[in-house]
Structure 1
């Protein structure tokens, strides 16, 4: 049993025959065929662990919809090719720990397929099972684009605020956060990251030079065999991504984020990417899902450069 639902049908909505959109090139895939693609999409419709406002379970469908209408051509890298869709993870009923265990089992099989998984979330609690199978394959670094550090202690069970504490306790070798806000994460958690050699980069540093900021974060992951990249959409300025669990002012711009994601994905150590906390019910319109879809497009384009 794969633990995956059947992938949806993809169609590009444009009537212009010269338009090529992701809806025209994404193909249904299975675990057996995943190795035929450079990257495979995996949906994770779950928000049972959110500390703040829920709604992220509707993220995968909204991101797919917006991505289907996004054109495939990057001005500098050319068109994106070779993308499959494995469908959604078939999530069980139960508490967060039960869901994490089931996701980890399915995701391990996805990582075994010879393609880079791109997880469409869903809430941040699934970062742990999405990345944990990579810990069994060598030294792992995590690169997180997030307004928060998400290193809360796991006292009464895991939440969307605990994934990097869980990964550290499971053996994470290196950690870098880009876009972390002032006054959003408590001193104890900053100290936790610092004590483990983590690198934290603020939006001010990103604004000065986005590429230098992400390269500095990648340098902090020197010596690892694989890099797992996570995008929590609350890293963006709240006006650009209002449909998230915890929108806050002072974030990075979409332009800065897309440039950093493309550069990060071009690192040939990248073994997985996720976009989390896209919660369409929490906004009027589709700004957040559209930003998420373009983020995925930039990652897919960057992956093509790095391989």
Structure 2
């Protein structure tokens, strides 16, 4: 199994850190085990980077997330290795020319390819426009699977699509819905970091798939009434940051488990601005309140523990968005993003 990915830029030089040879195989760190994607000979975890500021710029935010994929890798490189299966670096898709739509399409192709090769995928954004690229990859992968099933059963693809529409649960830890409508009055609609789940909802509508979206950690002061009304129309499960407290934690976890049980697959996306600015200063839109890491960690647990009927993780793809190294302090936010990636990777393989 090899990965042919000429579009992505792979730089293994960022994977550096300490060595503890006196501890042998049990003293290894990520930088000593990570492999480039062209050495992917068995299923594992594929890391992809989406170096992009264009969506944040279009959404009138402060830019700087372009450098996030490299900085997350640097912070992850020195963390302890606790895996039995391989992890591969598939490089970065870079949006250097303002053509966000092409960059998202290319990311979708890379995600789809990695899923076909039986990898789990973790993507390092970039702004939250990364989500539309990640979901394109999931959607195209599942459409291709449907076509294979149709061929095997001598059915038309449309018949299979109607009978077995995949239930993809999107779980977004975020201070914002990111359900904005693209600006009107242009020749073609342009997405941004604020529109990815609107675009996902439209994709699901066109495919006659259910739109299953849970958004946890919302800052009500940062989301208009129109967005809350739209979320209600679309049947979104959501919780504000003020509701994510220890007093409500058990009920929220039960509701989240019910949501997960109704899903065949999961797409986990974490916008780092869901955390308080004191914990995550390096983000595009810092949170005045946010949700504490220990609450997020407990809410993540049922997501990471969810298994399908084959005993594998329900998570197909996870991504991290909106880390902005330009505004980080002492690599604090980079370390948080790396720890989240470490936790996710350990759970899904």
TM-score (norm 2): 0.78
State the aligned residue count. 297
Q: How does 1:174-213 map to 2 (within 5 A)?
A: 174-208=212-246, 210=249, 213=252
8 Å Cα contact 1:227/1:269 also seen in 2? yes
In structure 2, the residue matched to 1:298 is 343
In structure 1, the residue matched to 2:326 is 281
In structure 2, how many angstroms separate the alpha carbons of the residues matched to 1:56 and 1:276?
8
In structure 1, the residue matched to 2:286 is 247
Most deviating of 257-266 and 290-299: 257-266
Return the match for 1:143 from 160, 171, 191: 171
Most deviating of 9-18 and 99-108: 9-18
Return the match for 1:45 from 41, 46, 51: 51
Structure 1 residues 286 and 210: alpha-carbon distance in aligned structure 2, compared to 1, 3 A threshold: farther
In structure 1, the residue matched to 2:134 is 130
Is 1:164 aligned to 2:197, yes or no?
A: yes
In structure 1, how many angstroms separate the alpha carbons of the residues matched to 2:97 and 2:250?
42
In structure 2, how many angstroms separate the alpha carbons of the residues matched to 1:111 and 1:11?
27
In structure 2, the residue matched to 1:12 is 17
Structure 1 residues 109 and 215: alpha-carbon distance in aligned structure 2, compared to 1, 3 A threshold: farther
Local SS of the residue matching 1:87: strand
Structure 1 residues 175 and 181: alpha-carbon distance in aligned structure 2, compared to 1, 3 A threshold: same
Larger-Rg structure:
2
How far off its partner does 1:247 sit?
Answer: 0.5
How far off its partner does 1:303 sit?
Answer: 1.1
8 Å Cα contact 1:211/1:260 also seen in 2? no
Local SS of the residue matching 1:201: strand
In structure 2, how many angstroms separate the alpha carbons of the residues matched to 1:43 and 1:212?
35
8 Å Cα contact 2:20/2:28 also seen in 1? no
How far off its partner does 1:48 sit?
Answer: 1.1
Is 1:269 aligned to 2:278, yes or no?
A: no
Higher-helix-fraction structure: 2
Unaligned runs of 5+ in 1: 74-78
How far off its partner does 1:222 sit?
Answer: 4.0
In structure 1, how many angstroms separate the alpha carbons of the residues matched to 2:70 and 2:280?
17
In structure 2, the residue matched to 1:231 is 270
Structure 1 residues 261 and 7: alpha-carbon distance in aligned structure 2, compared to 1, 3 A threshold: farther
In structure 1, how many angstroms separate the alpha carbons of the residues matched to 2:280 and 2:55?
20
In structure 2, how many angstroms separate the alpha carbons of the residues matched to 1:264 and 1:131?
17
Local SS of the residue matching 1:261: helix
In structure 2, the residue matched to 1:22 is 30
Structure 1 residues 28 and 101: alpha-carbon distance in aligned structure 2, compared to 1, 3 A threshold: closer
Alignment root-mean-square deviation, CA: 2.3
Unaligned runs of 5+ in 2: 143-165, 185-189, 205-209, 307-312
In structure 2, the residue matched to 1:56 is 65
Structure 1 residues 105 and 7: alpha-carbon distance in aligned structure 2, compared to 1, 3 A threshold: same
Is 1:258 aligned to 2:267, yes or no?
A: no
Local SS of the residue matching 2:193: coil
Most deviating of 187-196 and 131-140: 131-140
How far off its partner does 1:165 sit?
Answer: 0.4
CA deviations 1:202-223 (Å, max 9, x no partner) are: 3344322657534523422443
In structure 1, how many angstroms separate the alpha carbons of the residues matched to 2:225 and 2:173?
19
In structure 2, the residue matched to 1:33 is 40
